[in-house]
Amino acid sequence: MIVGRREAWTGRLLLVLLMAVTLMPFLSLFVTALHPSGSYPSGLEWPSDPQWGNFVKAFQAARMIELIKSSVLIVLGVVPLSLLLGTLAGFAIGHLRMAGRNLVFLVFVLGLTLPFEGIITPLYYQVRDMGLLNTRWAIILPLIGLFMPFGVFWMRAHFVNVPEALSESARIDGANVWQLFWRIHVPLAMPALSSLAILLFLWTWNQFLLAIVLVDDPLKRTMSGALGAFQGQWGTDMPLLCAGSLLILTPTLVIFLIFQRRFVTALLQGSLKG
Amino acid sequence: MTRPTPDSAVDSPATRPGPAAVTRKRSPARAGGLRTPSRVGWLFVAPALIVYAVFVLRPIVLTVQYSLYRWDGIGPSTWAGLGNYVKVFTDPDLFASILNAVKLIAFFSVIPVVLGLAIASTIRRIAASRLALVARTVLFLPQVIPLVAAGIAWSWLLSSTGLVNQLLGYVGLDGVARAWLGDFSTALPAVGVIGAWVLLGLCTILLLSGMSKIDPSLYEAARMDGANSLREFISITVPSLRQEIGVCVTVTVIAALASFDIVYVSTQGGPGNATMVPGLEIYYLAFSERQVGMASALAVVLMLLVILVALPIQWLTKDRS
């Protein structure tokens, strides 16, 4: 019993320490952001005269409203379409089980570990030839393609476990495959779909490489790509850079805190399946 | 419908026909009887497959094709055979970038997995407490924020006047204080620390949730047989977590080999080439130095490396059942 209690206290101490290390960078960003703009504060030091105005300044310098709008547009372009295409394919491979499904599934799965850097060069020339460079489509369309392996993999894993008898009985009632899909299987797939939606949202919002290569204008990029540009522009003004970074972090943080339980389960399932 | 077409003219990208807009086919499927014909299944798969083919498979094929040429991205290209690949493995700078990625595995994978295991087994007993629930949220933060932001925050922490040096000063280690990311000998480990920070929380929580599925009676039986906690850890915890450990290792190793965001933001590959990784090298070669062939050869090597590392880990840690 004493041993158990001591173990529990060690555990608690360790946990608190770990949380402190995790939060340290955020705290440092915050404290630095309050120093006078253009100064070079040292370490973690509460400023004598906190400059809350830095956040307003960074908000205007980063043009936050336009940035959020751009990221939202990109997410709206990527996530619904990826969900639809992934579900259709996952349904066919996992439930309809057509001939040749193993081959096509293998082709998708091979893309699961693909580093985006591997195809970024031809992607640049391809997007340029399509006339989409410097538009949001340059990020949206390739991302949908790049998300297909995970989307199909994820939805197939769901549909493989749906009992066939469910479809059989609906068929007897005269439903065709299209009705079967929309009226029975999509509603049943909602938990899997919402987890997938969260993951895709996060990966789109934080996408950096595609944004900096394919789109020059930070205002047409994802949040992450815009932050890269913000760093290039304000990199020498530490307090302003820190304030800007925090602002750019905020939308994801807010959404994460609202949906935290779903996020954590989605990320856990996501990495376990992926 | 577009397919991954092997381009015949690499040297004239301007005249290359771009793939037509992606067409999505809806299937007005009429089921004939109880069994669905394969044709219908393929109609369901087609839209996903087309987008995947146009934006992933075709670029993969093109990367391989580019890698066999010397091309500046604008003018005519000349056949180079395997010359670019030879250069990837013989040019000290290029090969060093691959080695750096491999070294990063120690930080991105080994630290989060080993430390994650240790932490998770320590806090296993209090996994249901309120503190642990709060911790779950907090430890996930690094997974949710953009890596770019993590890079910016840590560049500041690790700078010569940053918090890390300040803390070292408190414990009397002023002597080792330095600009961690600007020093040739510490830049790569410093980048590694950023990666470890990002991935430690994910690994800890993943392993912890795996531990909660282990049957407690196994531990009771071990205690009865007189096993100490180390013995328990080695003969019960680790084997039961085979799958979770496999996932952690796979995810983190890929993150190390394909790292880009963190390095781009914190060091841009410097000082010198001390933190250059393949992902960043590809970016520089293709888009600033205009050596598309060389960039593509390195890209092919990187893609193969990731697959060659990921597949055995998957195979080794798969459930035996």
Same structural domain, B228 and B184: yes
What does each C-alpha distance from A85 to A96, B48, B109, B111, B127 come to in angstroms? 15, 5, 33, 38, 38
Per the CB < 8 Å rule, is B135 touching A152? no
- Please give the torsion angle defined by the CA atoms of residues A153, A155, A161 and A165, in that order, rounded to the nearest 10 degrees: -130
**Measuring CA to CA, which residue among A229, A188, A136, A164 is closest to residue B146?**
A229
Stretches in chain A below the pLDDT threshold 70:
1-4, 43, 272-274
Same structural domain, B291 and B211: yes
User: Which residue shows structure tokens 């997995």?
Assistant: B113
Assess contact for A91 and B44: CB atoms under 8 A. Answer: yes
Q: How far is A161 from chain B (nearest CA, A)?
A: 17
- The partner residue sitting opposite B38, judged by closest CB among A98, A144, A145, is A98
Q: How far is B185 from chain A (nearest CA, A)?
A: 22
Can you give the pLDDT at residue B219? 85
In terms of residue numbers, what domain contains B40?
A: 13-66
* Count of structural domains within chain B: 2
Please, what are the domains in chain A? 65-223+247-273 (1.10.3720.10)
Task: Compute the distance between CA of residue B45 and CA of residue B49 in angstroms, rounded to an integer.
Answer: 6
- The partner residue sitting opposite A96, judged by closest CB among B41, B48, B132, is B41
Task: Compute the distance between CA of residue B211 and CA of residue B93 in angstroms, rounded to an integer.
Answer: 43
Q: B4-22 burial string, b = 16+ CB within 10 Å, else e? A: beebeebeebeebebbeeb
Q: What is the largest CA-CA distance in chain B?
A: 80
Assess contact for B265 and A124: CB atoms under 8 A. Answer: no
Within 8 A of A250 by CB-CB distance, chain B residues are none
Whether B192 maps to a domain, the answer reads yes
Q: A54-72 burial string, b = 16+ CB within 10 Å, else e? A: bbebbeebbebeebbebbe
Task: Compute the distance between CA of residue A42 and CA of residue A52 in angstroms, rounded to an integer.
Answer: 18
Whether B5 maps to a domain, the answer reads no
Same structural domain, B145 and B279: yes
Same structural domain, B98 and B58: no
Within 8 A of B139 by CB-CB distance, chain A residues are 18-19, 22
Whether B74 maps to a domain, the answer reads no
* ipTM of the complex, rounded to two decimals: 0.90
Task: Compute the distance between CA of residue A211 and CA of residue B64 in angstroms, rounded to an integer.
Answer: 23
Per the CB < 8 Å rule, is A126 touching B58? yes
What CATH number is attached to the domain comprising B206?
1.10.3720.10
User: By three-state DSSP, how is residue A46 classified?
Assistant: coil
Whether B8 maps to a domain, the answer reads no
Please report the residues numbered 3 through 32 in chain A whose beta carbons come closer than 8 angstroms to any beta carbon of chain B: 4, 7-8, 10-12, 14-16, 18-19, 21-26, 28-29, 32
Same structural domain, B27 and B106: no
pLDDT tens for chain B, 321 residues: list them. 333 333 333 333 333 333 333 333 334 443 333 467 888 899 999 999 999 999 999 999 999 999 999 998 888 888 988 999 999 999 999 999 999 999 999 999 999 999 999 888 888 777 778 888 888 888 889 988 999 999 999 998 998 888 888 888 888 888 888 889 999 999 999 999 999 999 998 899 889 888 888 888 888 888 888 888 788 888 888 888 888 898 899 999 999 999 999 999 999 988 989 999 999 999 999 999 999 999 999 999 999 999 999 888 888 876 654
Within 8 A of B163 by CB-CB distance, chain A residues are 24, 28, 43-44
Same structural domain, B134 and B273: yes
Same structural domain, B31 and B166: no
User: By three-state DSSP, how is residue A274 classified?
Assistant: coil
pTM of the model: 0.86
Whether B1 maps to a domain, the answer reads no
- The partner residue sitting opposite A148, judged by closest CB among B37, B52, B163, is B52
Same structural domain, B48 and B171: no
Residue in B with minimal Cα distance to A127:
B18
Same structural domain, B49 and B170: no
The single-letter code of the amino acid at A36 is P
Assess contact for B200 and B207: CB atoms under 8 A. Answer: no
Can you give the pLDDT at residue B319? 60
Whether B76 maps to a domain, the answer reads no
DSSP states of B12-69 as a string?
Answer: -GGGSPPPPPPP---------SSSPPHHHHHHHHHHHHHHHIIIIIHHHHHHHHHTTE
Within 8 A of B145 by CB-CB distance, chain A residues are 206, 249, 252-253
Per the CB < 8 Å rule, is B147 touching A208? yes
Task: Compute the distance between CA of residue B7 and CA of residue B17 in angstroms, rounded to an integer.
Answer: 9
- The partner residue sitting opposite B56, judged by closest CB among A24, A119, A249, is A119
Task: Compute the distance between CA of residue A88 and CA of residue B45 in angstroms, rounded to an integer.
Answer: 6
Task: Tell me if chain B has a CB within 8 Å of the CB of A140.
Answer: no
Q: How far is B49 from chain A (nearest CA, A)?
A: 8
Task: Tell me if chain B has a CB within 8 Å of the CB of A104.
Answer: yes
Can you give the pLDDT at residue A127? 95
Task: Tell me if chain B has a CB within 8 Å of the CB of A215.
Answer: no
Same structural domain, B157 and B304: yes
Can you give the pLDDT at residue A1? 40
Q: How far is B299 from chain A (nearest CA, A)?
A: 4
Within 8 A of A213 by CB-CB distance, chain B residues are 283, 287
Q: How far is A220 from chain B (nearest CA, A)?
A: 17
Per the CB < 8 Å rule, is A274 touching B251? yes
Whether B240 maps to a domain, the answer reads yes
Per the CB < 8 Å rule, is A114 touching B150? no
Same structural domain, B198 and B277: yes
Distance of CA A81 to the CA centre of its chain: 15
Within 8 A of A146 by CB-CB distance, chain B residues are 55-56
Within 8 A of A108 by CB-CB distance, chain B residues are 48, 52
Within 8 A of A130 by CB-CB distance, chain B residues are 18-19
Within 8 A of B150 by CB-CB distance, chain A residues are 25
Within 8 A of A5 by CB-CB distance, chain B residues are none
Whether B50 maps to a domain, the answer reads yes
Task: Tell me if chain B has a CB within 8 Å of the CB of A252.
Answer: yes
Per the CB < 8 Å rule, is A224 touching B146? yes
Residue B162 DSSP code: S
Q: How far is A52 from chain B (nearest CA, A)?
A: 19
Residue A43 DSSP code: S
Can you give the pLDDT at residue B14? 38
Same structural domain, B194 and B272: yes
- Bond prior to B59 in cis (omega within 30° of 0): no
**Measuring CA to CA, which residue among A247, A228, A242, A224 is closest to residue A37?**
A242
